[in-house]
Amino acid sequence: MMFEKHSAEGGGPVNVCGVPFGGGGLVIIAGPCTVESREQLLESASAVKEAGADILRGGAFKPRASPYAFQGLCSEGLALLAEARELTGLPVVTEVLDTRDVAEVAAVADMLQVGSRNMHNTALLKAVGTSGKPVLLKRGMSATLQEYLYAAEYVLNAGAKDMVLCERGIRTFETVTRFTLDLSAVPLLQERTWLPVLVDPSHATGRAALVPAMARAAVACGADGLMMEVHAHPDRALCDGEQSLTPEIFFKTVGELRAVAQALGRSI
Ligand code: PEP
Ligand code: MN
Domain that holds residue 132: 27-262
Residue 229 and residue 167 in contact, taking contact as beta carbons nearer than 8 Å: no
* Domain-embedded: residue 11: no
**What is the band of 4 on the pLDDT scale with cuts at 50, 70, 90?**
very low
Residue 122 lies in a domain: yes
Does some domain include residue 243? yes
Q: Which atom of ligand 1 is nearest to the CA of 62?
A: 5
CA–centroid distance, residue 4 to ligand 2 (Å)? 32
**Does residue 137 belong to any structural domain of this protein?**
yes
In a domain, 75, yes or no: yes
Q: Is the residue at 63 inside a domain?
A: yes
Q: Which ligand 1 atom sits closest to the C-alpha of 113?
A: 2
Which CATH number is 93's domain given? 3.20.20.70
Please identify, by atom number, the ligand 1 atom nearest to the C-alpha of residue 169.
9
In a domain, 185, yes or no: yes
> What is the C-alpha to C-alpha distance for residues 157 and 151, in angstroms, rounded to an integer?
10
Q: State in Å: Cα 1 to ligand 1 middle.
A: 31
* Number of domains into which the chain is organized: 1
Ligand 1: residues whose CB is within 6 Å?
33, 59, 63, 95, 115-117, 138, 168, 200, 203
pLDDT in tens, 242-256: 999 999 999 999 999
Q: Is residue 20 part of a domain?
A: no
Tens of pLDDT, residue by residue over 113-159, are: 999 999 999 999 999 999 999 999 999 999 999 999 999 999 999 99
Please report the pLDDT score of residue 144 as a whole number. Answer: 98
The pLDDT value given to residue 231:
98
Per-residue pLDDT reduced to its tens digit, 176-199: 999 999 999 999 999 999 999 999
